[in-house]
Amino acid sequence: MSGTHRQRMALGRSALVALLLLWSLGPMLWQLYTSLRSADALLLGSAGLGGGWTLANYTDVLSGDPPFWRYMLNSTVVGALSTLFTLALAIPCAYALSRRGGLLRLLVGGGLLAAAVFPYVLLFLALLEVARQLGLANNLLALSLPYAGLSLPLAVLLLQAAFAELPVELEENALLEGFSLLQRLRWILLPLMGPAVASTGLLVFLFSWNEFPIALTWLSRSELLTLAPAMARIAGSSVFTVPYGAFAAATVLGSLPLLALLLLFQRQIVAGLTQGAIKG
């Protein structure tokens, strides 16, 4: 293969990567651009570099009542609680399922798969009725419970696959040393399951962070709103105009914690998603 042909192939790969990167980052870059433009510049379609740039959209969002950081804090609390609840239930369930075989494991796995892909919107009215009967409205702890329940089937399936990759001999040796089941989980299995637990927990957190219908109906007090219904309120705050700049600024601010979380745990997430893909 000639050097010119290699250079063309390398250039083609670089161009493909650049296009894929632009395609992936395009919506975020557009939101960032919109958040920095004034209402007049957006209305007139002005894209010039000489004017129309402003930070007023961020100022308006951050100075709201309640302040925007309160919505982010509420989403963080709900996401953290639902993630903890889900992992606390999913880890022992996944371990038990991974150590079972035969027809029982097949039936339970099939049921979990059906529950994981079931459109939860169909359960919306039933969940709303439960919340009304039990008085669970305007309670962040109560809001995290349906999120944990909806995330549990997928979490069990993901962790079960990771448990199945661990050699049984590890547990047998620990059992000979006198380790109890909890000690085997705590000191042997879970440290090896770190990437899988991190990636599963992040998926649960993302679902809780972005969920809209349940949060919209369960929360009516402004100071308890999570990010998704709060952003919907910002988008509909004006009767005559759509506040594109303010909504874009809220989108950018709401994405920053998720970006920080992804950057912080990127190695664990990649390792968890690829765990079991390659066997030695």
Tokens of 249: 């600024």
Residue 77 has pLDDT above 50, yes or no: yes
**What confidence score (pLDDT) does residue 278 get?**
44
**What confidence score (pLDDT) does residue 127 get?**
84
| Full domain range(s) for residue 158 | 54-274
Residue 242 lies in a domain: yes
**What confidence score (pLDDT) does residue 64 get?**
77
> Burial level of 100, CB count in 10 A (0-12/13-18/19+)?
middle
Q: Could you tell me the pLDDT band of residue 201, with boundaries at 50, 70 and 90?
A: very high
Residue 47 lies in a domain: no
Residue 208 lies in a domain: yes
pLDDT in tens, 215-273: 988 888 888 999 999 988 887 666 566 788 888 999 999 988 888 888 887 777 776 66
The one-letter amino acid code at 172 reads E
Query: Could you tell me how far CA 74 lies from the centroid of its own chain?
Result: 15
Residue 17 has pLDDT above 90, yes or no: no
Give the position of tokens 């995290």: 144
pLDDT in tens, 130-160: 888 888 888 999 999 999 999 999 999 999 9
CA 262/CA 240 separation, integer angstroms: 38
- Total domains, the chain: 1
Q: Could you tell me the pLDDT band of residue 280, with boundaries at 50, 70 and 90?
A: very low
CA 203/CA 147 separation, integer angstroms: 12
Residue 212 lies in a domain: yes
Residue 166 lies in a domain: yes
Residue 10 lies in a domain: no
Residue 225 lies in a domain: yes
Residue 29 lies in a domain: no
Residue 65 has pLDDT above 70, yes or no: yes
Sign of CA dihedral 119, 123, 128, 131: negative
Say which CATH number the domain at 89 has: 1.10.3720.10
